[in-house]
Chain A
Amino acid sequence: MKTGLHIGVLYGIYIMGTWIQQLFNLFIPGSVIGLILLFILLMTGIIKAPWVEDGARFFIKHLALFFIPATVGVINYLDLFSGGGLLLVFIGLVSTLMVMVSAGSVSQLLIKSKERSHGNE
């Protein structure tokens, strides 16, 4: 019951996010605008954490479930994985792994040196 109510609040914020997106013609999706909006509302205390807590925990716990229908959409592009399309898949993957390694190692390096300098103080 409470979880349902909290999901309702989250849904409302998502709808507000899509309105903001349409109003200002932004290319950031409504869901991401809603994410930023909820964070601001929580930080400013306009929305109290207990109002969304149970719904948020439910979504986070089963986050992967909500992506499945979209990822199953890969079925319409299976022919890309044969012949010439395979090269594009390869380029996309290599470039993605380069992002993962560069972004990850840079931030790890920075946080490690920060932790080290704190340790020496």
Chain B
Amino acid sequence: MSNLIIGLTAVIGTIICYFIGLKIYQQWRYTFLAPVIIATLILVLSLLFFQIPYETYMIGGGWINHLLGPAVVALAYPLYEHRDTMKQLTFPILTGTVIGAVIGISSGILLSKWWGVSEEVIYSLIPKNSTTPVAMEVASGMGGVESLAAVFVMIAGIGGSMLSSFVLKFTRIYHYTGTGVGLGSASHAIGTAIAMERDSFEGSVSTIAMVVSAMVVSVIAPLFAGWWV
């Protein structure tokens, strides 16, 4: 089979899984059934079942992945649309995000030390709540492993998003500023996609939290690692 056919099959399969996920989500509206989670689950199970390696899937998956860059750039548009509201929210968003970043880094270090995790793994875990490229760069700068850092980013993104509806409800965080900051600073771009699905104000708040969080984490992670690890 030529690469073109494999690629097209992967693209069409991904789009079909996405629309299945979208339908299921629109039916039940639970965040743990968000389109990205359902589609990932169906694709992972199909690849395992047909014994297709991820690299083969990525011949076509890479084409979609190539549009992730401009899709992230597009987040500036709703931010601009809601600029007046966002200006009002600047202080709550920034304060929440910075506190979240500090707690994420310190709890990551302390929990790992408590359970005797090796230093190399701790360095890879510390920047998990920022976006993948930032986390990989920051982790390797401290002496961590890049691919492991990417896995922890995925755990924070997918796992955090899946559990977000329960956790936010349980802790009585319901204002779109609170949920947006929570999703953006904990689960970065995947959390932002979920916030954007619910409401574009919440999505804009999450966008700011994601961007600020990535910057704060990249600056303070090495400091905390120097003190505590």
Task: Give A8's nearest chain B residue, CB to CB.
Answer: B70
B157–A71 touching, CB < 8 Å: yes
A111–B164 touching, CB < 8 Å: no
B75–A70 touching, CB < 8 Å: no
A71 to chain B, nearest CB (A): 5
Q: How far is the CA of A56 from the CA of B138 in the complex (A)?
A: 30
Chain B window 181-218, contacts with chain A (Cβ cutoff 8 Å), 1 for yes, 0 for no: 11101110110111011001001000101010011001
B197–A64 touching, CB < 8 Å: yes
Q: How far is the CA of A111 from the CA of B181 in the complex (A)?
A: 12
A72–B61 touching, CB < 8 Å: yes
Chain A CB within 8 A of B9 CB: no
Chain A window 81-98, contacts with chain B (Cβ cutoff 8 Å), 1 for yes, 0 for no: 000000111011111111
Q: Which A7-43 residues have a C-beta within 8 angstroms of B? A: 7, 10-11, 13-14, 17-18, 27-32, 34-39, 42-43
Q: Give every chain A residue within 8 A of B155 (Cβ-Cβ).
A: 89, 92-93, 96
B185–A103 touching, CB < 8 Å: yes
Complex partner residue of A28 from B47, B115, B134, B174, CB under 8 angstroms = B134
A17 to chain B, nearest CB (A): 7
A102–B103 touching, CB < 8 Å: yes
B100–A103 touching, CB < 8 Å: yes
A34–B168 touching, CB < 8 Å: no
Chain B CB within 8 A of A110 CB: yes
Q: Give every chain B residue within 8 A of A91 (Cβ-Cβ).
A: 108, 111-112, 115, 117, 125
Q: Give every chain A residue within 8 A of B183 (Cβ-Cβ).
A: 100, 104
Number of interface residues of A (CB under 8 A): 71
Complex partner residue of B187 from A65, A87, A96, A98, CB under 8 angstroms = A96
Q: Give every chain B residue within 8 A of A64 (Cβ-Cβ).
A: 18, 21-22, 34-36, 39, 193-194, 197
Task: Give B154's nearest chain A residue, CB to CB.
Answer: A74
A74–B70 touching, CB < 8 Å: no
Q: Give every chain B residue within 8 A of A75 (Cβ-Cβ).
A: 44, 47-48, 54
Q: How far is the CA of A106 from the CA of B103 in the complex (A)?
A: 12
Q: How far is the CA of A71 from the CA of B18 in the complex (A)?
A: 13
B68–A67 touching, CB < 8 Å: yes
Q: Give every chain B residue within 8 A of A119 (Cβ-Cβ).
A: none
Q: How far is the CA of A37 from the CA of B77 in the complex (A)?
A: 11
Q: Give every chain A residue within 8 A of B57 (Cβ-Cβ).
A: 69, 72
Chain A CB within 8 A of B151 CB: yes
B112 to chain A, nearest CB (A): 6
Q: A28-B134, A42-B76 are in contact. Are A62 and B18 (CB under 8 A)?
A: yes
B159–A56 touching, CB < 8 Å: no
B77–A56 touching, CB < 8 Å: yes
Chain B window 112-153, contacts with chain A (Cβ cutoff 8 Å), 1 for yes, 0 for no: 100101000100010011011110011001000000001110
- A sample of 5 inter-chain contacts (CB < 8 A) reads A31-B72, A49-B77, A59-B67, A91-B111, A106-B95
6 closest cross-chain pairs (CB), A and B: A103-B100, A104-B182, A108-B178, A107-B96, A69-B61, A56-B77
